[in-house]
């Protein structure tokens, strides 16, 4: 079960995305997957390259569209474990509509967001996760005038059944949360603080270490309590890490659509002759 391939990532040395890649590879092996059972779909951005860096099926999609592709894949082949991935610009700006509706649809995929609070690939513009007043010398010298988005609070309001957050420096926790997300029978959102060492000089590794509040500090915390999750998220300004919320009861989309009975498309016999197939191909040419 080796999820490593021989492609050398071209992320900047020190980029948080390296740890996310390692955590996915470890988690996939730990839950007993084989490379042929796993598909990783990514969007556009530095993080979007991750689908090519893991030994599994990979699909590098278009900007903000990793979730529709991942959902189509899962619906066509329920046997496949599907991970969607991307950055905060990809998933919480252009892709936010898909994010919210995938959450409420509760389809059984794991969505991993590499949240570096900036647009890295396009050289440092404020992203939806950049704080108000966030400055970059070339792109926002006067500071961002918009408020930062609170994705986990939005996810909770949208009916999420699994919400977790981690930090790329905490590989043990991140791997464990991805394992739990892969085992969750519904949509799992895992937001990962993944520093951009090249363009984000504010939200650095040290900044995250100082500002993160880990759920281990609250022994009475109950991740099945939605109100407690929202309260704690708001109290910590969204800097909470750990398993924040999980609903193990709600049925997922596939269970409701297929009712556990019907084979997914990929498992069904295609009753079509070679001539009919050729005719169909000609029609679509």
DSSP string covering 209-242: HHH-EEGGG-TT--TT-HHHHHHHHHHTTT-EEE
Contact 110, 181 (CB under 8 A): yes
- Check residue 202 for interaction with ligand SF4 (CB under 6 A): no
Considering the complex, state which of residue 68 and residue 124 has its C-beta at the smaller distance from ligand SF4.
124
Least separation, in Å, of the C-beta of 165 and ligand SF4?
18
User: Residues 225-264: x/- map of binding to ligand SF4 (CB under 6 A)?
Assistant: ----------------------------------------
Sheet holding 240-246, edge to edge: 57-60, 38-42, 81-87, 110-115, 188-193, 162-167, 240-246, 213-214
- Check residue 112 for interaction with ligand SF4 (CB under 6 A): no
Q: Which two tokens stand for residue 203?
A: 């939200």
Least separation, in Å, of the C-beta of 28 and ligand SF4?
22
> Among 50-58, 59-67, 195-203, 257-265, which window interacts with ligand SF4 (CB under 6 A)?
195-203
Contact 49, 87 (CB under 8 A): no
- Check residue 116 for interaction with ligand SF4 (CB under 6 A): yes
Q: Which residues pair with 40 in a beta bridge?
A: 58, 83
Considering the complex, state which of residue 31 and residue 140 has its C-beta at the smaller distance from ligand SF4.
140
- Check residue 140 for interaction with ligand SF4 (CB under 6 A): no
DSSP type of residue 143: -
Please return the burial class of 168, using the count of CB atoms within 10 Å of its CB with bins 0-12, 13-18 and 19+.
buried
CB atoms within 10 A of CB 202: 14
- Check residue 199 for interaction with ligand SF4 (CB under 6 A): yes
Least separation, in Å, of the C-beta of 273 and ligand SF4?
50
Considering the complex, state which of residue 136 and residue 144 has its C-beta at the smaller distance from ligand SF4.
136
Query: Contact positions toward ligand SF4, by CB under 6 A?
Result: 11-12, 15, 17, 46, 116, 120-121, 196-199
């Amino acid at each position: 079960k080796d999820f490593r391939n021989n492609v050398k990532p071209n992320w900047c040395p020190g980029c948080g995305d390296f740890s996310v890649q390692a955590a996915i590879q470890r988690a996939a092996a730990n839950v007993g997957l084989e490379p042929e059972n796993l598909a990783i779909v990514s969007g556009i951005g530095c993080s979007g390259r991750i689908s090519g860096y893991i030994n599994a099926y990979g699909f590098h999609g278009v900007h903000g569209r990793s979730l529709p592709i991942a959902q189509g894949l899962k619906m066509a082949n329920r046997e496949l474990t599907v991970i969607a991935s991307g950055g905060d610009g990809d998933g919480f700006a252009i892709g936010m509509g898909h994010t919210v509706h995938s959450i409420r649809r509760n389809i059984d995929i794991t969505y991993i967001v590499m949240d570096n609070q900036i647009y890295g690939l396009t050289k440092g513009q404020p992203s939806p996760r950049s704080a108000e007043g966030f400055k970059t010398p070339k792109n926002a010298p006067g500071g961002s005038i918009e408020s930062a988005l609170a994705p986990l609070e939005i996810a909770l309001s949208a009916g999420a059944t699994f919400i977790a957050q981690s930090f790329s420096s905490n590989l043990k926790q991140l791997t464990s949360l991805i394992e739990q997300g892969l085992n969750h029978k519904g949509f799992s959102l895992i937001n990962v603080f993944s520093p951009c060492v090249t363009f984000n000089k504010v939200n650095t590794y040290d900044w995250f270490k100082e500002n993160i509040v880990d759920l281990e500090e609250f022994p009475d915390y109950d991740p099945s309590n939605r109100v407690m999750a929202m309260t704690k998220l708001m109290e910590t300004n969204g800097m909470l890490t750990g398993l924040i919320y999980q609903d193990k009861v709600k049925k997922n989309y596939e269970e409701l659509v297929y009712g556990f009975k019907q084979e997914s498309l990929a498992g069904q016999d295609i009753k079509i002759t070679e001539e009919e197939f050729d005719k169909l191909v000609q029609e679509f040419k």
